[in-house]
Structure 1
Amino acid sequence: MFAKIMTFNLRLNVESDEDNAWPYRTKAVAEVIRRHNVDIIGIQEGLHDMLTDLEPLLPEYAWIGEGREGGNKGEYTAILYKKSKWNVVNMGHFSLSDKPEQLGARSWNSSHPRMCTWVALKSQTGTEFAVFNTHLDHISDEAQQKGMELIRERMKKLRDQTGLPVVLTGDFNVYPEHAVITGLEQEGYQNAYSILHIENRDVGTTVHHFLGGESGKPIDYIFVSSDLQINHVMVDRELYEGRYPSDHYPVIAEVSQR
């Protein structure tokens, strides 16, 4: 196995969630990550205080990222990585807008500023790859499609310059038949869920609003470039300490080089 990857929308710290608000879920989120022993986690909806809350619970991980409004402001699409195995070679971020170098910029009828965080990592054994992590808009179809077009352009540019394999994680806020997904597949990126379809198994939903269940379609995804392959994928629908760690299920994929 090359790496174990997770995408996980943590759900903002919202007081109206009452018993499901962040302070009651923090330990459960850390337990999910520890139980799966993942190398890399792309998170969505993490605020700065939420990330720092996780630091003492996950001392084996470091993270990179900024808030979508710049600095510590707004939601993060941070990337966590296991420090004992991976070193950061390069990293960056861009807004999903017509001013990509300006965090906080909004375009294409987006409901909020949206962004993508990326990191190039190198293992102790010399293996290198890049991870892009994003959270697409939940309302504007134009923002979803043009945001992913920008991400695809940036991934292609990095691959052309470095030759690195690429993993893309995120909450895309679209179902599998959407142009965001089919466009990635047509460009040669493998949807981790494709191995479930080979096995004739349904993916089910990945968002459940703290109610559980699996009826529906996914909106959280892991994609890999053609020089990587997916060996296993799962949606973790378990309760931790009697509660769901988030209103989204974490998705975990085992990835190797071809």
Structure 2
Amino acid sequence: MLAKIMTFNLRLNVESDGENAWPLRVRAAAAAIKRHDADIVGIQEGLLAMIKDLEPLLPEYAWVGEGREGGEEGEYSAILYKKGKWSAEEAGGFGLSETPEKLGAMSWNTACPRMCTWARFKSADGAVFTAFNTHLDHISDEAQTKGMGLIRQRIERFREQTGLPIVLTGDFNVGPNHAVVSGLERAGYVNAYSVLAEGSQGVGRTFHEFLGGESGEPIDYVFASPDLEIAGVEVDRGQYDGRYPSDHYPVCATVRRTSVTG
């Protein structure tokens, strides 16, 4: 198995963004995904209308997910995938709250409802893995920590039941020293930034508010289970047609299976 895994916060369609508003960025966002030829794209802040805007520009992709308030309501942490290479065998989602089966619920002083989307993918040559994608709260440390704790519980239960490798993408809204990130690393999950000579500490910012630049820390991550290895990672700080595709840089990692051939 060899796959390119991207995390990409699209930034909501907000009219006050002016020249950076979504209708002026949609082609740039599609171009970024195409440039990396990503197999799997975990998006954040994608309203349904925004995902629909991308569909004709990315005909090689299908997607799974629902709004964080249930059904078509609210932001999506959807997962896009190359439908010519992968099929989504199973998919679902859960809320990051004390009642995870009820989307839209809020716990742990979160500023808004949060969720995690997951899907099990299979390729034509038989490779199988599961992707999890999330967007943690931007205000509450308790919600960030407990939300990731719930995601880890679900991932670990899934791996116990299936034995499949997993990737985890998301806007975690925390820097590399936060317990959300260090906890994943201590549990054996591989931070894609670990393959860089400078590691997470030298990656620079991934949230740039349409200003560009590198100074700061990442808040967008790709993690992989211990039975996968990271072959490379790129924070894409480029512009497309003279504009940034989002106020976050897309991050794309190449992962491959280590323990078995597939």
Q: Which category of TM-score, normalised to the shorter sequence, fits these structures?
A: over 0.9
2:143 corresponds to 1:143: yes
For residues 72 and 21 of structure 1, the distance between their equivalents in structure 2, rounded to whole angstroms, comes to 21
Tell me what 2:9 maps to. Answer: 9
Distance 1:243 1:4 in 2: 24
- State the TM-score, normalizing by the size of structure 1: 0.98
Counterparts of 2:174 and 2:236, CA distance in 1 = 19
Identity %: 66
Quick one: distance in 1 between partners of 2:198 and 2:86?
A: 32
Q: Report Cα offsets for 1:188-237 as digits up to 9, x if no partner.
A: 10000011146798201000000000000000000000000001001000
After superposition, residues 54-203 of structure 1 pair within 5 angstroms as 54-197=54-197, 202-203=202-203
- 1:45 maps to what in 2? 45
Which AA in structure 2 matches 1:128? Answer: V
- 3-state secondary structure, aligned to 2:196: helix
2:107, 2:90 → 1: CA distance? 27
Give the CA deviation at 1:118: 0.2
* RMSD between superposed Cα atoms in Å: 1.1
Cα distance in 2, alignment partners of residues 216 and 90 from structure 1: 37
2:81 partner SS: strand
Once residues 200 and 83 of structure 2 are traced to their aligned partners in structure 1, the CA distance between those partners, rounded to angstroms, is 37
Aligned positions, number: 258
In structure 1, C-alpha distance between the alignment counterparts of 2:135 and 2:14, rounded to whole Å: 18
Q: Distance in 2 between matches of 1:183 and 1:18?
A: 39
Q: Distance in 2 between matches of 1:219 and 1:204?
A: 10
Q: Name stretches of at least 5 consecutive residues in structure 1 with no aligned partner.
A: none
How many Å apart are 1:150 and its aligned residue? 0.2
One-letter code aligned to 1:35:
R
Contact 2:6 2:41 in 1 (8 A): yes
Inter-partner Cα distance in structure 2 for 1:200 and 1:9: 19
After TM superposition, the runs of 4+ consecutive aligned structure 1 residues lying more than 2 A away are 197-201
Using a 3 Å threshold, how does the CA distance of structure 1 residues 94 and 206 change in structure 2: closer, same or farther? same
User: Could you tell which deviates more after superposition, 195-204 or 73-82?
Assistant: 195-204
1:163-210 deviations in Å (ceiling 9; x for gaps): 010000000000000000011011110000011146798201000000
**Structure 2 equivalent of residue 219 of structure 1:** 219
